[in-house]
Structure 1
Amino acid sequence: MTRTQKAVFILVAIVALALGFIVYRTLSETDQGDQTAFVDAGIILLPQSRAVPDLSFTDQDGQPLSLSQLKGKWTLLFFGYTFCPDICPITLAQLRQIKSELPADAVANLRIVLISVDPDRDTSQQLKQYLGYFDKQFVGLRAPVETLQKLANAVSIPYFPADTSKPNYTVDHSGNLALLGPDGTQRGFIRAPLNTQKLVAQLPGLVERK
């Protein structure tokens, strides 16, 4: 196991422990009926919402976009990249399937955003073409590594910037999704791997919340 792989393993373990603590507190402090169903679907709600810094990005159309512009809908933030060999295409395909099976009013209240952790290769044009293979309504955002790390730290989604000097490099990142509410704060996480059918059943009730 390389040093990077060990670091990823340790970070994933820490995140898993943190999520376990959040699950315990959430089930202890809120209505257990709804929360148990959410947790079973992989939806982990924070006991208290968490502020997200209003960072600036560029979207897949080359237009500037700040995180505050994501307000008004529930947003699923997925940290990934277009050259990812496995987890990213699988996750995006699952999100496409989930969206296709949700009722129209739930779809209208939900936004899916790919935050690229590979800004060197993921140009706006590359993001637009790649996301178009899955769903043209998916949003792709890119920014300098410093901005990406600030956001990843703020929403507790670990990733390691790659050594871009190596040919065909890969980027180590978590498969968890950050869940932002309509007010722009982080409300929780969706754990990887995604359970598509359970998420289809539970997301409509979640996105009805304010």
Structure 2
Amino acid sequence: MSTAQSQAGRLRWPSTPRPTARGVVLVGVVAFLLAYALLPLLTLKPAYGSDLTPPKVIADVPLRDAASGAPVSFSSARGRTLLVFFAYRRCPVVCPAILAKLARAYRQAGEPGGVRVSVVNVDPSDSPAEFARYVQRFHPAFQAWQADAPALARVASEFYLLVREGTTQPIDHTATVNVIDPQGRWRRLYSDSFLRTAEYAHDLRAFSYGRY
């Protein structure tokens, strides 16, 4: 037998280390904790409001950004979830109450980047700049949209809203929060102004994960 063959015969390949019982337990504990942490995200879904099935595709209506004057539309917001609310600056009680609640819920949900709140002015005669400042006092990320009278009539029709001259306040209008998914479909409706902040925040988190 040659020297090389003799040395090869003495070589031993390193054996694969066998997992110890302690290592197996540690891996199991880590896997359990990870699954426990992810479970709420995997099961998260909206729990409040009304599910609109089948969803309606919202038609494009030409609107303007109240702060910049730039044209905006529902299609220009595709790729993000929109919470669309209709309000006006002189609204005495309901509009500011719902906007304040949405702002608190948005912060409580962690201000998800894939979700935007867009507020459409139901008072075409109002100053767009003043309306934008009004909306952004609730949250600087909220978008203020302005519509002229014909556009407002069209967008109100899309969402089946009542908008008319008020009797006990300047304007009467339907105070619903409407959820539009990234494909421009109307997926959810909140008509209960008594919904709690935490309940809005829960559903905002679900929307940020694409659950409607």
TM-score with structure 2 setting the length: 0.72
Aligned match for 2:160, one of 148, 156, 162: 156
Alignment of 1:29-48 (within 5 A): 38=47, 41=48, 43-48=49-54
For 1:175 and 1:138, the matched residues in 2 are separated by 17
Alignment CA distance shift 1:169-1:199 (3 Å): closer
Q: What are the residue-to-residue correspondences of 1:123-134 with 2, within 5 Å?
A: 123-134=127-138
Q: Distance in 1 between matches of 2:197 and 2:97?
A: 11
Distance 1:132 1:140 in 2: 8
Correspondence 1:69 to 2:73 = no
More helix by share: 1
Q: Which residue of 1 aligns with 2:186?
A: 186
User: Which of the two has higher C-alpha Rg?
Assistant: 2
Q: Distance in 1 between matches of 2:207 and 2:169?
A: 37
Shift of 1:169: 5.9
How far apart in 1 are the matches of 2:136 and 2:208? 24
2:175 corresponds in structure 1 to: 175
- Residue equivalent to 2:117: 112
TM-score by length of 1: 0.72
Tell me which residue corresponds to 1:11: none
Aligned residue pairs, count: 167
d(CA) in 2 for partners of 1:169, 1:147? 22
Tell me whether 1:89 sits opposite 2:96 in the alignment: yes
Contact 2:162–2:174, Cα closer than 8 Å, also in 1: yes
Deviation at 1:34, TM superposition (A): 7.4
Structure 1 residue 51 and structure 2 residue 57: aligned? yes
The superposition leaves residues 125-181 of structure 1 with CA deviations (integer Å, 9 ceiling, x where unpaired) of: 112211231111111111122211211111223222x28xx9x96110111111100
RMSD of aligned Cα (Å) = 2.2
Unaligned runs of at least 5 residues, structure 2 = 1-42
Q: Percent identity?
A: 22
